[in-house]
Structure 1
Amino acid sequence: MSPARLRALCAGIVIALAMAGAPRSAWAQGGLDAQRQAELEGVGIEEHLGKTIPMDATFTDSTGKTVRLGDYFNQGKPVIVNFVYYECPMLCTLSLNGTSDVLKQLEFTPGDQFNLVTISFNHKEDAELAAGKKASYIKELGKPEAADGWHFLVGDEQNIRKATEATGFMFKWVPEQEQYAHGAALFVMTPDGRFSQTLKGIAYDAKTLRLALVEASGGKIGSVSEQLLMYCFSYDPDTGRYGPAAIKIMRLGGAMTVVVLALTILAYRLNEKRRLRKSNRNHAQPDAA
């Protein structure tokens, strides 16, 4: 991470930690005045796991083409969705930087194992702005091939609200600040458009994101060991990471115990049969003269 980006990250970390889904009480405890609390009323990220993104929501991509959200789903691969606005002075830049940073660490590539859809929630932004932002981050990522899988969209207010409300991404315009109050997160979705995991914040752990994609894919991507790992681990929204799933581990341990016991019994029976056959052959042989 460059020094400039590190300084920007440090400058925005307090805002990001609070905005990325922290309860309103946390803001109050932080000493924010009544006006600021009012500005942040109704802002945050709700968990909508299992619900479906509106496939018919219409947007414009960075080339000026009209697209539907459904165009990026049902391709047999998971999809990451995130919401920013391209002229955001602070948090969105940090969030996009965090996304770019984790993609550099990820062995998966947008467009190959998954799709990534970045949507502006500012209805006044246009495709030209989206194109500039896409070009900047594809260059920053250093993977030109990712351009086919990382999509930057803009849209009208109605379709933006349709997508953000379904996602649980709550934001609002603050006239006094002349900017939006909002949170930051990556929404990991199944190939058919259901919400699988929500990774909140502006910095994302590569291992956590990879496992989230493996889980959302239903085992269609990732190694055999990762798919086995997914059986024994589950996502903890409180820590933002995957941890041991006690019940699943006990089930797996119980199943392995049964298998070992069955193999032991089978080996015993086979040995017993061999012993009996050998004994019968010895009894059947005539005594030497």
Structure 2
Amino acid sequence: MLIRALRQLLLVVLLLQVPFPSLAWGHSSADQVLSQIGVDEHPGGSLPLQTVFRDPTGRPVRLSDNFSGVPVLLSLNYYACPTLCPLVFRNLAETLAELGDLKLGRDFRIVTLSINPDESPALAQDKSGKTYAMLKEVVAPERYWPFLMGDQQSIAALARSVGVRYLKQESGDYAHPNVLVVLTPEGKISRYLYGLVIRPRDLRLALVEAAGGKIGSSEAANRLLLYCFHYDPVGKKYVLFASRLMTLAMLSVLALTGLLLALLWKKERVPRSPDPSNPTT
């Protein structure tokens, strides 16, 4: 965690050294550019699953090919991004290692799509290869986390379906929000997670929620987890539901008290054996 925090601090320092005019597109100010990027959330919305993209080798990949009964995480980035996108990939790989019993491939998949229609296949291959190298415990990660490319129409259609607004700048770079879209196994939008670093607990809860609790080693434990936490739309994260936790604690105490009373009552009802040495019994 300390290494990740230092990495974020270094990124902030680098960003502070970038003059704001470099964010402009044409004669637009930085504020105008920032007002044109963002996320218009569409919870429950559907994705164009029949849209065809391609992987770095040029092989066509239908979006629906990545939906196989488990939730899917969708990220919209671009592979020529000099700073933020590589950091997002690294941070996500580190978060995946902290998910406990939830495993990439078995319990969920990830799809990364470049928003640049002129993306270089060689660069896509380079970025994906470096990311896969960080997934030490995943066998054949390219099967479960493809780095895709597409034409402008297909990219725009997918971005519109999830409400992600991005902007190409005069420099050729793209301004875009850092968001992870959590999708149900059927391709419906379940949740949006924001930021350069997604907390393992938030990602786990979002995946369990999208799957209806039917992933991981214990469905009962998943449902208990969802009962105790709820999503805060203002803070954009999962928070502990204190009143539910208190209710759960009270029910546990009552159940234990009832069990203890039942054991004592049963003990009192067991007849004692007569003592032959005591004539009064």
CA deviations 1:91-147 (Å, max 9, x no partner) are: 222222221221222233321211000110000014333222111111133235133
1:162 maps onto 2:157 in alignment: yes
1:11 to 1:56, Cα distance in 2 relative to 1, 3 A = farther
State the 1:261 CA deviation. 11
Candidates 128, 134, 141, aligned match of 1:140: 134
Structure 1 residue 89: Cα displacement: 1.6
Q: Secondary structure at the match of 1:142?
A: coil
Is 1:125 paired with 2:125?
Answer: no
Aligned equivalents of 2:163, 2:182: Cα separation in 1: 13
Identity of aligned residues (%): 34
Residue 230 of structure 1 corresponds to 226
1:50 aligns with 2:44: yes
Shift, 1:60, TM fit: 0.3
Hey, what does 2:279 align to over in structure 1? none
Structure 2 counterpart of 1:101: 94
Map 1:50-69 to 2 at 5 A.
50-69=44-63
Greater CA drift, 256-265 or 119-128: 256-265
For residues 7 and 41 of structure 1, do their structure 2 counterparts lie closer, same or farther at Cα, with a shift above 3 Å needed?
closer
Instruction: Kindly state the Cα deviation for residue 200 of structure 1 after the two structures are TM-superposed.
Output: 0.5
- The Cα of 1:57 is off from its aligned counterpart by 1.7
Q: TM-score, normalised by structure 1?
A: 0.75
Q: 1:90 to 1:143 in 2, by over 3 A?
A: same
Cα separation, 1, equivalents of 2:62 and 2:187: 12
* Distance apart, 1:237 and its partner CA: 3.0
User: What CA distance in whole angstroms lies between the structure 2 residues aligned with 1:240 and 1:133?
Assistant: 28
Give the Å deviation of 1:46. 2.2
The 3 A distance-change label for structure 1 pair 13 and 242 is farther
* SS class of match (1:187): strand
Taking a change above 3 Å as real, the CA distance of residues 43 and 190 of structure 1, as seen in their structure-2 partners, is same
- For 2:157, give the aligned amino acid: K
Pick from 10, 13, 32: which aligns with 1:11?
Answer: 13
What residue number does 1:150 align with? 145
Could you tell me whether the CA contact under 8 Å between 1:60 and 1:127 is conserved in 2?
no
Answer yes or no: is the 8 Å Cα contact 1:173–1:181 preserved in 2: yes
Q: Deviation per CA, 1:241-281, whole angstroms, max 9, x where unpaired?
A: 322346756886898799899999999x999xx89xx9xxx
State the secondary structure of the residue aligned to 1:198. Answer: strand
| Secondary structure of 1:71 counterpart | helix
The runs of 5 or more residues in structure 1 that have no matched partner are 16-32, 279-289
**Mapped contact 1:60–1:155 kept (Cα < 8 A):** yes
Q: Which residue of 2 aligns with 1:185?
A: 179
Q: Which amino acid counterpart does residue 99 of structure 1 have in structure 2?
A: L
Q: Would you say the 8 A contact 2:231–2:239 is kept in 1?
A: yes
Instruction: Find the residue that maps to 2:190 and give its secondary structure.
Output: strand
**CA 1:2–1:239 in 2, change beyond 3 Å: closer, same or farther?**
closer
Query: Which TM-score applies when normalising by structure 2?
Result: 0.76
In 1, the alpha carbon distance for the partners of 2:15 and 2:202 equals: 20
Q: How far apart are the structure 2 equivalents of 1:8 and 1:236?
A: 29
One-letter amino acid of the structure 2 residue matched with residue 231 of structure 1: Y
- Confirm or deny that 1:71 pairs with 2:65: yes
* Alignment correspondent of 1:80: 73
Distance 1:256 1:106, change over 3 A: closer
Go from structure 1 to structure 2 and tell me whether the alpha carbon gap of 1:164 and 1:111 turns closer, same or farther (over 3 Å shift): same
Tell me the residue number matched to 1:92: 85
User: Which structure carries more helix by proportion?
Assistant: 1
Contact kept? 1:55, 1:69, Cα under 8 Å:
yes
- 1:204 deviation in Å? 1.2
Q: After superposition, give the CA deviation of every residue in 1:7-37 in whole Å (9 maximum; x if it has no partner).
A: 643436779xxxxxxxxxxxxxxxxx97111
Matched, 1:210 2:212: no
